[in-house]
A and B are shown apart, each in its own frame.
Chain A
Amino acid sequence: MNFLSYLINGISLGSVYAIIALGYTMVYGIAKMLNFAHGDVIMVGCYVTFLTMSRQGWHPLPAVLLSMVVCTALGITIEKIAYKPLRRAIPLAVLITAIGVSYFLQNAALLIFGADTKSFTSVVTLPALKLADGALTISGTTIVTVVACIVIMVALSLFIKKTKAGQAMLAVSEDKDAAQLMGVNVNATISLTFAIGSGLAAIAGVLFCSAYPTLTPYTGSMPGIKAFTAAVFGGIGSIPGALIGGILLGIIEILGRAYISSQLSDAIVFAVLIIVLLVKPTGILGKKMQEKV
């Protein structure tokens, strides 16, 4: 029974990682860049929800929707100001810019909101599910997180397969120049990718803070790194890969903490990552990509 409850905790944590990892993996697949500011967009989303819901007393639903709007706008703005001018620059320059944006967001939050910890009220009011005479308790947040993760994955896959904009994304990810020649608006497609990724970051942030209820300007950085790891683990650029990578990472982390050592759980996670990458350098579902010359 303990094992089952560890497993459920792991899936719940992993679902959050998976939603965040989507942001990394989509942007990487299309713009071929690592958006290290993604974790900090999560933090901004949490603060927006916190301010509207806890300070102004809004209902959770409009609060989450507003935070998605703010994050989407923020994602597009970051892309326009910081990344678009560097579209033809070498990848390293964009990477450094992304790190700069990440620090900018953290320090801005530190100035605006202060460094003190805020306690985040869960947006989920669903009661906990008690199974097997109370021996197994699944919290409402866990249920909502897992369901949200599945819904987002399905919706996103359908969007990419069935819509024109989704097809355009696929085309840009395969060959930017050829897509442009075929009449795809590459800039608009990249902006759309950032918008979707950042909107999802808001959801991920709210779910993360609901499960682990503290909020500081550095809240986004550790889950950001873990989710990036999950994206690489599952195969960066692949959407199902983000799901598998995220959930496996969550399960390994929790089981490692439960059965091996609570101090070594992070070390175990990264050790597994190294082993996977040694065996399969492109990640679990990663495509083998030929470098273009």
Chain B
Amino acid sequence: MKKFMSVLLATAMVATCLAGCGQKSEGASQAAGTEAAGASTDGAVFKIGSIGPTTGDAAIYGQAVMNAAQIAVDEINAAGGINGYQVAFKYEDDQADAEKSVNAYNSLKDWGMQILMGSVTTTACIAVTDKTAEDGMFQLTPSASSTDVIINDNVFQACFTDPNQGTASAQYIADNGLATKVAVIYDSSSVYSSGIEATFVEEAQAKGLEVVAEESFTADSKTDFSTQLQKAQSAGAELVFLPIYYTEASIILTQANGMGYAPTFFGVDGIDGILGVENFDTSLAEGVVLLTPFAADAADEATQSFVAKYKEAYGETPNQFAADAYDAIYVIKAAAEKAGATPDMSVSDLGAALTAVMPEISVDGLTGVGMTWKATGEVSKAPKAVVIKDGAYVAM
């Protein structure tokens, strides 16, 4: 018995040790990958932290946010900073996981973060909002789109809320006559996906679209979609609405192709990034339509300058998450200038000051002209639709 206990304890120890080691070194490499830039003057600086996945399923979003925010911070610093103070920016990886996101938040607080631009994904962001509310810290998420994110007064969104995405998608499909019979495939275990699905179906019915199939999957069964596609096909759906992330969408496109089913696939911001999946055959995504506030080929000067800078620095075309993050940094700047904020204010004073002026500001950004905010935290701006053509996003 004694021997058994020792063997058991030893194996348990080895197992936890191995698991722990894996995670720890991973954490270290993430920290090394992020940059603390900007703090060039010796005086006080605004410390803006950001959290999002740079590894894992949603890595493309987090990376885009990190890169674009860095561009915005560098521009602001070069132009003299916010209210004359330079901005320091630090980014932490959370792998789109709630627990890791809270850990990242704590380590950013140790660094001295005063304003949070994050988290990038909804589930992780909800976990962090409780912490920022306790600390009274101003939080602006570039892309977490659930309404649950903005329950607390101190949290604002730079992106559309989920209900808006669902409603806007249904309106777009109906107004442009893309289809009359639509099917939906959504992830019922995700707040993001089921939130959009609910409002989409409601608005679609109000607009006279026929929702012929409402199919779901869960986090545990997200590899086989043949059944859901089959049901959509036999119900005669001309358009399949996919309020899901690009990882699953890439499987759906592959399987639909395999079974010879070619409806119009219509997605929202979660589909953005599908062209970046390693080894994915982008010809399968040809003709996929997605609703997004940003199109990289837009002709205005701000977009073109941002896209050029981003391409030069990171070698790829920025997606909508990059644009939202870029705008988010400028929104923070606008709010801080309106409130006359200085870096020596306490975190909660700064939070209260910025929260108070948010409903009063209007920002012209990449993702919308004259963006305004409600006191609830919701943004108001107009969506655009883009279509994937020859492996790139093109405005419709």
Residues in chain A within 8 A of chain B (CB atoms): 2, 5-6, 9, 13, 50, 54, 86, 89-90, 92-93, 96-97, 99-100, 103-104, 107-108, 110-111, 114-121, 128, 130, 134, 137, 139, 141, 211-214, 216, 222, 254, 257-258, 262-263, 265-266
Tell me which residues across on chain B come within 8 A of A2, comparing CB atoms: 230, 234
- Measured CB to CB, the nearest residue on chain A to B218 is A263
What is the bound-complex CA distance between A240 and B188, given in angstroms? 36
Q: A100-B14, A107-B18, A130-B260 are in contact. Are A118 and B26 (CB under 8 A)?
A: no
Instruction: Give chain A nearest CB distance to B140 CB in angstroms.
Output: 26
- Contact residues of A: prevailing secondary structure: helix
B250 at the A interface (CB under 8 A):
yes
| Distance A254 CA – B221 CA, assembled complex (angstroms) | 11
Pick from A104, A115, A137 the residue with the most CB of B within 10 Å. Answer: A115
Given known A89-B4, A96-B15, A128-B258, contact A111–B57 (CB-CB < 8 A)? no
Is A262's CB under 8 angstroms from B217's CB? yes
Chain B interface residue count, CB cutoff 8 Å, equals 48
The minimal Cβ–Cβ distance linking B204 to chain A, given in whole angstroms, is: 19
A121 touches B279 (CB 8 A): yes
Complex formed: what's the CA distance from A6 to B226 in Å? Answer: 8
Closest 6 CB pairs of A and B: A107-B22, A100-B15, A212-B223, A119-B280, A115-B56, A115-B55
Given contacts A119-B280, A141-B258, A212-B224, contact A108 B234 (CB under 8 A): no
In angstroms, how far is the closest chain B Cβ from the Cβ of A46? 12
Whether the pair B227, A254 counts as a contact (CB closer than 8 A) is yes
Q: Which of A50, A216, A265 has the most CB of B within 10 A?
A: A265
B114 in the interface (beta carbon within 8 A)? no
Q: Which of B221-251 contact A (CB under 8 A)?
A: 221, 223-224, 226-228, 230-231, 234, 247, 250-251
In the bound complex, residues from chain B placing their C-beta under 8 Å from that of A263 are 188, 216-218
Q: Who on chain A is nearest to B259 by CB?
A: A137
**Can you report 23 residue pairs joining A to B where beta carbons are below 8 Å apart?**
A9-B226, A13-B224, A50-B279, A93-B8, A93-B11, A100-B15, A100-B18, A111-B22, A111-B26, A115-B95, A117-B250, A119-B254, A130-B260, A137-B260, A139-B258, A212-B255, A222-B220, A257-B228, A258-B230, A262-B216, A262-B227, A263-B188, A266-B220
A residues less than 8 Å from B259 (CB atoms): 128, 137, 139
Instruction: Given contacts A118-B277, A130-B260, list 9 more A-B pairs with CB under 8 A.
Output: A89-B4, A100-B12, A100-B18, A111-B26, A114-B55, A116-B56, A116-B57, A258-B227, A266-B220
